[in-house]
A and B are shown apart, each in its own frame.
Chain A
Amino acid sequence: MNTVQTNIFNVILFILIFSINISVCSAKKTYIEKKITISGYVKDAQTGENLTGATILIKETGKGSTANSYGFYSISLTPGTYHLTFSFIGYDEKEIEIKADKDFSLNILLEPGSEQLQEIVITSQQKDHNITSPLMGNEKLLSNDIKQIPVLMGETDLIKVLQLMPGVQATSEGSSGFSVRGGNPDQNLILLDEATVYNAGHFLGFFSVFNNDAINSVELYKGYIPASSGGRISSLLNIRMKEGNKKKFSGTAGIGTIASRFTLEGPIIKDRTSFIVSARRTYLDLLIPVFAKDDMKDNRIYFYDLNAKVNHTLNKNNHFYLSGYFGRDVFRNEFSKMDFGNKTFTARWNHVYNPRLFSNLTLIYSNYDYGLGTIESGANSFEWKSNLKDWSLKADFNYYMNTSNTISFGGQTTYHDIMPGNAYGKDEDDMYNEIRLANTNSLEHAIYISNTQNITQRFVVKYGLRFSIFQNIGPGTLFEYDDNYNVTGEREIKKGEIYNTYTGLEPRISLSYILTPGTSVKASYSRTKQYLNMASNSTSSSPLDIWFPASPNVKPQTADQYSVGFFKNIFSNKVETSLELFYKNMQNTIDFKDHAELLLNEHLEGELRFGKSWSYGAEIFVRYNLNNWKGWISYTRLKAERKIDGVNNNKTYLSPYDHTNDISLVVNHRISERSSFAANWVFYTGAPVTLPVGRYESGGVIVPLYSDRNEERMPNYHRLDLSFTLHSKNKKQKQCKGEWVFSVYNAYYRKNAWVINFENDDDNPLIIHARMTYLFSIIPAITYNIKF
């Protein structure tokens, strides 16, 4: 057995031993004492929104519990009188005395804290949650935190804020693509209300598709990925949309430098049914006629987003949620057009079987598509389309076995239908052939079980096992390739024929041990598999990137990640510090051959090259919350390498996302009741790049000669952003609350190289100049937001 298999074996053994341990314990207890279960929802008293991850502490036993992602909690107690404390970040703590003599349900409403919620930069749910949680490599952000960070053109963007966290980095300047711990952007699973978002960028990636006004919270998992999720090997980004105010109508509107936003939420039936609708649109294109030359007047360039959600409480045991996202980018000039966007739809049914068993059934649809072509019809007119559709059914259960064990289990099945490309002429008597690449259809199934176990008050273990199955299903065309990636044959697959199956066992475990109050050590291991990959060989994603599935020619990517961490809070939890070390080993890593042709290529699999990759590093994180000063410092040290057969002469080379040093400083200072100031500074080592080592003449031009891939680096990157927020006066009395946000991106005008090009001298073409392009000078922005 090789080491990986040994590891898996050990982990499975470990889980088995624990499971036996659990059943023995619980069996014993049932005989000895009767248990009372108290369950219910923790909600915001003003809006009725569920408070995901609110914590419950039982004073008498010192034990606690956490509300699940729907705000549901369940605790089991021996009969008696107890004091329960419910808490959630930014809300006033609530202590309740209960007399436990029979099972009952108890919904808890928490009042938003007297401490101004808006001013909180970033904090975890409970004061020492970072110490006690069994998770590591885990970051949670609330919508209000995100708002405070200065960003490009004032367009609040959760992904830009995540890029300031340790281990997370923008794939290129200003991009909403991100790399986690040296991984590829396509190795991040991005879920919006459980639906996969396949291309999270607007405007060629400069803005993300997530409109902050519609977002409740964001959670990123870099290390231990919960067993309930899978399909990507780097990270899970779980984004939850707001549910809508159940008590009263309210809304927000904002006018920014490039886009305007409008959100309305409120009850349809008070306390039972509510909705939220949020829209955003850019208006750059409306300015074009004012500033542009005549021949550009018809140019259009804009994007919009629409988020909508309805939720309904049928009774205390049944809740329904419907949510959807629709967004689109449109570019258009007189001659050509291009548009692309995501659509997602999620329907959920929460059902409480009994106070200890909570279930959620989810139906998901997700779609990404793009189209481009000519405007006018004519001999040379054409259209080109591609799309990807997912249908998915998911069932999740939380079983609150006892105070020491919370078990989650469930399953998911997804049908992926990808149309990689279809190009055709538009003219009636058309001379062009239609090019239609065969659709690829596949099924992805998984079942999982995991347990969060408090072994002692100080020692918490979270462990789980996910079993995934991936199947390629007809109709389709299967190409066979030889060792030189030339096509040697093809086979037509009949409709419904399953012609390839992969299975994977994905064990995951995370342990935390509290050394002293305020200090803990943690360790985790996580195995993940990835069956869908993105065909992109540029470092930033483009709207034309298509996804392709694992197949007989493409083995699933696998990652094993090991991490350890040390967590310490000082100044009574006002300063949180942590050090995490990780090592990630990945098999069947995909890269692309030199000058690969990835678009409209039915032999795409022949352009792929396979190998292995690994990354390791350290992350230091210091978060502070001192009087009127809040923020964090993060430092990441990273090495990420690959070795791919057929790339770089089979030699090891750096991943394009290898940034040796990466520092982010975030400061938020409350100046007065009405005003606050924020700044962030980032620095990272320039990305690896391939530069010429020589020149030669061919075809009448000077051709660069390269040595090894990614041997050189771009200049180091650094940037300072500032913002100042001014709230309107007398907030308490007025119905409407307004605020001005002034921000400056790249405040000291650092010219950060986006790309280096080589250009021939105008007078003497034998002379070559190295010329760098920088995207942004100083970019000021003003945003006005109003809440009503």
Chain B
Amino acid sequence: MKNLIYILLLFISACTEDIELNLKHTDPRLVVEGFITTDTATHYVRLSKSGDFFANEQMPAVRHAKVSINDGHYTYELIESESLPGLYLTFDNFFGVTGRTYKLKIENVDINDDGVYETYTAQSYLNPVTKVDSIKLEYEDNWDLWKVLLYAMEPGGDTTDYYMFSLIVNDTLYTDQLTEVTVADDRFIDGNYAKGVWVHSFYINNDEYDIYPGDTITLKMSGITSEFYNYVIALQEETGTNIPLFSGPPANLPGNISNGALGYFTCYSNSYGSTIHTGDKTDIQ
């Protein structure tokens, strides 16, 4: 679709040009980023402040907060990292359990500088995810990209399931921004066997792919909440290119932190599938 629009824009000789804009200011707000997953690892909650749109620098970290997570059974205190200010960490043997609701509480912060501490809370349910049977890489000639195909059983059921797909290349997270993950609901595949569903892609970058024959490619499939699904969709919309024909009016992301804070705290479960990249473009099933 977008491809077609670009062809059209080419015909009507569209051009772009940098312009000066005088934008308004707002008071800083707390920004939260926290994820609980089923992986056994150090989990973190990152606290920062918002700033002017054209601030053009790293947003300031929020330090010395009291951050805790409660899973309905136990409360875990998070400890601020010494090397990475604003990052609050769990122990490295922490893992989320599906079916539990996790509650985040942030205390001891004074974002508006009025001398009174504020408290912020958020909560999220940890949904299960189906097992990835296998994945496959397939070359797409028309668009010059490598498709990542998923093989897995979609469990079906009455509720809508939401998925997030991330890519890992040789143990390094390739899709390290939320703009690079793909998200989907199960409308098209509810209760069916996913027999090579195209869920992600490796695009060509400066005439080269980021992956080489011999690389281990891993797909991470996450079972996310509907709220987080909507957040990712909105984030991708608001940070992507705005085309008046298709884009609605800009709007703030639907975060889930109380007390006017921005950002997100969410839980999800992970399931992995790997393959070795052969580089063989003719390998069509």
Chain A residues with CB under 8 Å of chain B are: 172, 174, 203-206, 284, 296, 299, 301, 331, 333-336, 338, 372, 379-380, 423, 431-433, 435, 537-542, 544, 592, 594-596, 600, 656, 690-707, 709-710, 715, 751, 753-758, 764, 766-777, 779
Interchain CB contact under 8 A, A696 and B263? yes
Of the candidates A174, A696, A771, the one whose C-beta lies within 8 Å of that of B262 is A696
> Measured between alpha carbons, how far is A162 from B246 in the docked complex, in Å?
25
Interchain CB contact under 8 A, B23 and A754? no
CB-nearest residue of chain A to B190: A433
Does B230 sit within 8 A of A, measured CB to CB? yes
Chain B residues with CB under 8 Å of chain A are: 1, 3-5, 7-9, 11-21, 23-26, 29, 31, 33, 48-59, 142-143, 149, 176-179, 187-198, 230, 232-235, 237-239, 241-254, 262-264
Besides A754-B14, A766-B57, 7 other A-B contacts (C-beta < 8 A)? A431-B189, A432-B192, A700-B179, A706-B252, A758-B53, A770-B18, A770-B19
> Measured between alpha carbons, how far is A333 from B187 in the docked complex, in Å?
27
Complex interface: chain A residues within 8 A of B189 (CB): 431-433
Complex interface: chain A residues within 8 A of B15 (CB): 751, 773-774, 777
Interchain CB contact under 8 A, A697 and B5? no
CB-nearest residue of chain B to A435: B187
- In the complex, how many angstroms separate the beta carbon of B130 from the nearest chain A beta carbon? 14
> Measured between alpha carbons, how far is A299 from B55 in the docked complex, in Å?
43
CB-nearest residue of chain B to A425: B188
Complex interface: chain A residues within 8 A of B53 (CB): 692-695, 704-705, 758, 768
Q: A542-B245, A594-B254, A694-B50 are in contact. Are A431 and B194 (CB under 8 A)?
A: yes
CB-nearest residue of chain B to A751: B17
Most chain A CB atoms below 10 A, which of B1, B59, B177, B250: B250
- Can you offer 18 A-B residue contacts whose CB atoms are under 8 A? A206-B12, A284-B11, A301-B4, A334-B142, A335-B143, A431-B194, A431-B195, A690-B249, A692-B53, A693-B23, A695-B55, A695-B59, A698-B31, A704-B53, A704-B238, A757-B16, A769-B18, A779-B13
Q: A690-B251, A770-B19 are in contact. Are A379 and B196 (CB under 8 A)?
A: yes
Interchain CB contact under 8 A, B237 and A697? no
Interchain CB contact under 8 A, B4 and A697? no
Interchain CB contact under 8 A, B264 and A698? yes
Complex interface: chain B residues within 8 A of A542 (CB): 245-246
Of the candidates A380, A544, A594, A696, the one whose C-beta lies within 8 Å of that of B29 is A696
- In the complex, how many angstroms separate the beta carbon of A656 from the nearest chain B beta carbon? 7
Interchain CB contact under 8 A, A204 and B245? yes
Complex interface: chain A residues within 8 A of B55 (CB): 695
> Measured between alpha carbons, how far is A299 from B59 in the docked complex, in Å?
45
> Measured between alpha carbons, how far is A301 from B8 in the docked complex, in Å?
8
Complex interface: chain B residues within 8 A of A757 (CB): 16, 241-242
> Measured between alpha carbons, how far is A696 from B263 in the docked complex, in Å?
8
Enumerate the 8 nearest inter-chain pairs by beta-carbon distance, A residue then B residue, closest first.
A699-B178, A594-B251, A700-B177, A537-B248, A696-B50, A335-B142, A692-B53, A696-B31
- In the complex, how many angstroms separate the beta carbon of A706 from the nearest chain B beta carbon? 5
Q: A333-B3, A700-B177, A755-B242 are in contact. Are A709 and B13 (CB under 8 A)?
A: no
Complex interface: chain A residues within 8 A of B16 (CB): 757, 771-774
Complex interface: chain B residues within 8 A of A710 (CB): 249
Complex interface: chain B residues within 8 A of A709 (CB): 249, 251
Complex interface: chain B residues within 8 A of A774 (CB): 14-17
Interchain CB contact under 8 A, B187 and A433? yes
Interchain CB contact under 8 A, B31 and A701? no
Most chain B CB atoms below 10 A, which of A435, A703, A755, A756: A703
Interchain CB contact under 8 A, B248 and A592? yes
Complex interface: chain A residues within 8 A of B21 (CB): 691, 756, 770
CB-nearest residue of chain B to A376: B142
Interchain CB contact under 8 A, A772 and B17? yes
> Measured between alpha carbons, how far is A58 from B55 in the docked complex, in Å?
76
Complex interface: chain A residues within 8 A of B191 (CB): 433
Complex interface: chain B residues within 8 A of A707 (CB): 24, 26
Complex interface: chain A residues within 8 A of B4 (CB): 301, 331, 333, 336, 338
- In the complex, how many angstroms separate the beta carbon of A48 from the nearest chain B beta carbon? 41
Complex interface: chain B residues within 8 A of A751 (CB): 15, 17
CB-nearest residue of chain A to B141: A334
Interchain CB contact under 8 A, B59 and A699? no
> Measured between alpha carbons, how far is A777 from B177 in the docked complex, in Å?
36
Interchain CB contact under 8 A, B252 and A538? no
Interchain CB contact under 8 A, B188 and A423? yes
Interchain CB contact under 8 A, A172 and B244? yes
Interchain CB contact under 8 A, B254 and A699? no
> Measured between alpha carbons, how far is A432 from B177 in the docked complex, in Å?
29
Of the candidates A204, A423, A754, the one whose C-beta lies within 8 Å of that of B8 is A204
Complex interface: chain B residues within 8 A of A702 (CB): 239
Interchain CB contact under 8 A, B188 and A432? yes
Q: A698-B31, A756-B21 are in contact. Are A433 and B5 (CB under 8 A)?
A: no
Of the candidates B26, B54, B193, the one whose C-beta lies within 8 Å of that of A768 is B54
- In the complex, how many angstroms separate the beta carbon of A316 from the nearest chain B beta carbon? 51
CB-nearest residue of chain B to A203: B8
Of the candidates A538, A691, A766, A775, the one whose C-beta lies within 8 Å of that of B58 is A766
> Measured between alpha carbons, how far is A338 from B8 in the docked complex, in Å?
13
> Measured between alpha carbons, how far is A45 from B246 in the docked complex, in Å?
49
Q: A595-B233, A766-B56 are in contact. Are A703 and B253 (CB under 8 A)?
A: yes
Of the candidates A537, A538, A595, A656, the one whose C-beta lies within 8 Å of that of B254 is A595
> Measured between alpha carbons, how far is A431 from B189 in the docked complex, in Å?
7
Of the candidates B5, B26, B176, B248, the one whose C-beta lies within 8 Å of that of A204 is B5
> Measured between alpha carbons, how far is A656 from B244 in the docked complex, in Å?
12
Complex interface: chain A residues within 8 A of B26 (CB): 693-694, 705, 707
- In the complex, how many angstroms separate the beta carbon of A397 from the nearest chain B beta carbon? 43
Complex interface: chain B residues within 8 A of A694 (CB): 25-26, 29, 50-53
CB-nearest residue of chain B to A536: B248
> Measured between alpha carbons, how far is A704 from B196 in the docked complex, in Å?
36
CB-nearest residue of chain B to A600: B187
Interchain CB contact under 8 A, B56 and A768? yes
Interchain CB contact under 8 A, A693 and B24? yes
- In the complex, how many angstroms separate the beta carbon of B171 from the nearest chain A beta carbon? 18
Complex interface: chain A residues within 8 A of B242 (CB): 755-757
CB-nearest residue of chain B to A594: B251
Interchain CB contact under 8 A, A433 and B11? no
